[in-house]
Amino acid sequence: MLRTLYQSDINQILAIENAVHIAPWNEQTFKACFQAGYTGWVVEADKKIIGFIIISVTSEECHILNLCVAREFQGKGWGRALLEHALNHVRKHGIGIAYLEVRRSNRRAISLYRQMKFHQIGERKGYYPTVSGNEDALVFAISLHEEQERQ
Ligand SMILES: CC(C)(COP(=O)(O)OP(=O)(O)OC[C@H]1O[C@@H](n2cnc3c(N)ncnc32)[C@H](O)[C@@H]1OP(=O)(O)O)[C@@H](O)C(=O)NCCC(=O)NCCS
């Protein structure tokens, strides 16, 4: 089941975040997302959260801030479902473009974004910390107006 993310979900999504990310967000960062009015959704199985997405939206654009699926549930279509849901939501609100950053080494996520018709529009050198230094971020975007026209 896919539903809205609530602040009471923070403990569960924090556990997933800590288990899958090299440099995970902490509780304060998640709380700040709620304070900032960001939007999110979770996927639940047996009333347990197995994945989530958080986006920020302005009047013109959407930024995908975090997309994460628990390791044992990866590769089953949940990441795509969360991303499609978020993009459909912002498209309905007339938002024309969505952006995201991804680690250059994150082949799985990059494959998902390319499949969903995101295009690389740039990169940020040394944007992400790693255990041994820094790693570049690739910046991807999708034009939602174009997507709408194609349908
Ligand atoms: C990236 C992530 C969100 C994808 O979610 P997921 O539920 O595992 O992916 P899905 O099952 O929806 O797969 C969608 C597409 O991702 C790609 N993908 C999934 N598993 C893959 C794998 N093992 N190797 C390569 N590509 C893979 C494929 O393109 C796949 O499409 P296909 O099934 O038609 O081939 C998830 O793996 C994850 O949480 N990873 C850790 C956190 C992270 O990297 N988040 C993104 C930060 S930018």
Alpha-carbon dihedral sign for residues 7, 8, 11, 12:
negative
Per-residue pLDDT of 91-120, as tens digits, reads 999 999 999 999 999 999 999 999 999 999
Mean pLDDT lowest among 52-56, 114-118, 138-142, 144-148:
144-148
* Cα 126 to averaged position of ligand 1 atoms, centre (Å): 23
Q: Which atom of ligand 1 is the closest one to the Cα of 109?
A: 1
Alpha-carbon distances, residue 102 vs 13, 31, 126, 131 (angstroms): 19, 22, 12, 17
Give, as one character, the DSSP assignment of residue 96. -
* Cα 77 to averaged position of ligand 1 atoms, centre (Å): 8
What does the domain layout of the chain look like in residue ranges? 2-150
Say which amino acid occupies 145.
H
pTM of the model: 0.94
**Domain 2-150, architecture per CATH:** 3-Layer(aba) Sandwich (3.40)
SS3 state at 107: helix
Per-residue pLDDT of 13-71, as tens digits, reads 999 999 999 889 999 999 999 999 999 999 999 999 999 999 999 989 999 999 999 99
Residue with CA nearest ligand 1 atom 27: 108
Contact 86, 80 (CB under 8 A): no
Residue with CA nearest ligand 1 atom 17: 112
Cα 49 from chain centroid? 15
Alpha-carbon gap, residue 73 to 63, rounded angstroms: 24
